[in-house]
Amino acid sequence: MTDQRPQYGEMATVEEQRRAAGLPPITDVSPVEVAPASEPDVAREPSVRSRPVDRFVTIALLAYGLINVVMTGLSYLEFSTTMNEMMGVLGVDGEFTNFAQGKLWGTIAAIVLAAGWSLTAFLSIRRLRTGKTSWWVPIAGAAVTLLVASICAAIPLMNDPAFIDFVAKTAGQ
pLDDT tens digits, one per residue of 26-41: 776 565 565 555 555 5
* 50 contacts 131 by C-beta, under 8 angstroms: yes
pLDDT at 13 over 90: no
In this predicted model, what pLDDT tens digit does every residue of 65-99 receive, in sequence order?
999 999 999 999 999 999 999 999 988 888 999 89
Across 71-106, b (16+ Cβ under 10 Å) vs e yields ebbebbeebbebbbeebeeeebeeebebeeebbebb
Confidence at residue 25, expressed as pLDDT on a 0 to 100 scale = 79
Over the range 4-17, which residues count as b (16 or more CB within 10 Å of their CB) and which as e?
Answer: eeeeeeeeeeeeee
Rounded mean pLDDT, 133-147? 96
| Per-residue pLDDT, 24 | 83
Question: Left (φ > 0), alpha (ψ -120 to 50) or beta: where does 6 sit?
Answer: beta
Which residues, other chains included, contact 115 with Cβ-Cβ below 8 Å and sequence gap of 6+? none
Which among 66, 76, 85, 86 is positioned nearest to 141, based on CA atoms?
66
Q: Which pLDDT belongs to residue 49?
A: 64
Q: Which of 7-16, 86-95, 127-136, 154-163 has the lowest mean pLDDT?
A: 7-16
pLDDT at position 47 over 60: no
Does this model's pTM top 0.75? My answer is no
Q: What is the DSSP string of 46-61?
A: ------HHHHHHHHHH
Pick the residue with more confidence: 43 or 173? 173
pLDDT digits (tens, 9 = 90+) for 118-127: 999 999 999 9
Residue 143 has pLDDT above 80, yes or no: yes
